[in-house]
């Protein structure tokens, strides 16, 4: 699969980056990044210029070609930023080693999204932030169907357009704090956290988030 991403790296910034439109919404989300931060699937590094300055950041990606393109952007970042080639589903970091974990159009691309999210959960410290800028399947039946149809061919190049990422985030045990719409109910800015281990089940249930959120989060 990393071969496909190596190929896509060539035209990624022009055809897929969508930086002009989504940049400000991403910057709004990345404002919440704190040191030490892990950026999962850094791609060509388009987002690096949107990171708050002075943080200690590790950016990973499975594709060598993507990372090569990200290098000059990483060098321009005003702070320590390391790029590593790594699979999101098998992170080589100790448990609870990051304060923030960030993804951007990542969960449409990793082959096993829940497995990857469980890894993100493992490396995030309790109380740390999960920040995700992701596209998901629309709840609207017409747009949902369009995304299902698109997935028939985008899947061949490594992208699933119809994932239920919000449900996957919950399945990986994160607590969702807020969701903002960046484009309809398809492109979302999701903020979550990893709760400290709970002793008591009732307390845990009470922390699942505001009432009504679960309904809005079932993005299908």
Partner 1 sequence: MAQGTATRVSAAIREAQPASARAGRGLRSVLFSVGDGMFLLTVGVVAAACMRLVDSLGWNSVLAWIIGMGLAMLLQTILAFAAAPLLGSIETMVPSMVVAMTCPMVLDFLEMIGVNLGWSWSVALGAGFGFAMFMFVEGYGVLCRKSFRRAGVPR
Ligand X SMILES: C[S@@+](CC[C@H](N)C(=O)[O-])C[C@H]1O[C@@H](n2cnc3c(N)ncnc32)[C@H](O)[C@@H]1O
Report the interface residues with partner 1, using CB under 8 A: 14-18, 20-22, 24, 135, 138, 140, 142-143, 146-147, 149-150, 161, 176-181, 183-188, 191, 209-213, 215-217
129 binding partner (options ligand X, partner 1, none; Cβ < 5 to 8 Å by kind): none
CB 160 within 8 A of CB 151: yes
Distance CA 207, CA 187 (A): 26
- CB-wise, 154 or 214, nearer to ligand X? 154
In angstroms, give the least distance from the CB of 180 to partner 1.
Answer: 6
Which residues are within 8 A (CB) of 90 and not within 5 positions of it... i.e. 6 or more apart? Answer: 119
Residues 70-89, mask of contacts with ligand X (x by CB under 6 A): -----------------xxx
Distance CA 187, CA 105 (A): 9
Give the residue carrying structure tokens 């149809």: 149
Q: Is 41 in the site for ligand X (CB under 6 A)?
A: yes
Distance CA 53, CA 162 (A): 34
Region of 76-84, 98-106, 147-155, 161-169 interacting with ligand X (CB under 6 A):
98-106
Identified binder of ligand X from the candidate list 73, 100, 106, 168, rule CB under 6 A: 106
In angstroms, give the least distance from the CB of 187 to partner 1.
Answer: 6
> The dihedral of CA 132, 137, 139, 142: what is its sign?
positive
CB 44 within 8 A of CB 13: yes
Q: Which of 72, 141, 63 is nearest to 106 (CA)?
A: 63
169 binding partner (options partner 1, ligand X, none; Cβ < 5 to 8 Å by kind): none
Q: Is 48 in the site for ligand X (CB under 6 A)?
A: no
In angstroms, give the least distance from the CB of 122 to partner 1.
Answer: 23
> DSSP secondary-structure letter at 111?
S
Q: Which of 131, 127, 107, 125 is nearest to 117 (CA)?
A: 107
137 binding partner (options partner 1, ligand X, none; Cβ < 5 to 8 Å by kind): none
Which residues contact ligand X by CB under 6 A? 5, 17, 41-43, 46-47, 61-63, 66, 87-89, 104-106, 109-110
């Amino acid at each position: 699969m990393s071969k496909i991403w190596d190929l896509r790296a060539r035209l990624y910034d022009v055809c897929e980056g969508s930086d002009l439109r989504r940049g400000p919404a991403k910057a709004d989300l990345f404002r919440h990044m704190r040191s030490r931060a892990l950026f999962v699937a850094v791609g060509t590094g388009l987002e690096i210029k949107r990171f708050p300055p002075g943080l200690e950041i590790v950016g990973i990606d499975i594709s060598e070609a993507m990372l090569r393109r990200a290098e000059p952007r990483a060098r321009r970042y005003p702070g320590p930023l390391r790029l590593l080639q790594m699979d999101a589903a098998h992170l080589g970091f100790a448990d609870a080693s990051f304060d923030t974990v960030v993804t951007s159009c990542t969960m449409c691309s990793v082959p096993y999204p829940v497995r990857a999210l469980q890894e993100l959960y493992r490396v995030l410290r309790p109380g740390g932030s999960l920040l995700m800028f992701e596209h998901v399947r629309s709840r609207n039946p017409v747009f949902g169907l369009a995304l299902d149809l698109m997935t028939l061919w985008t899947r061949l190049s490594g992208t699933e357009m119809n994932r239920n990422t919000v449900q996957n985030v919950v399945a990986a045990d994160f607590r969702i704090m807020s969701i903002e719409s960046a484009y309809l109910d398809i492109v979302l800015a999701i903020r979550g956290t990893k709760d400290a281990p709970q002793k008591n089940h009732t307390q845990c249930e009470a922390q699942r988030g505001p009432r009504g959120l679960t309904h809005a989060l079932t993005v299908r």
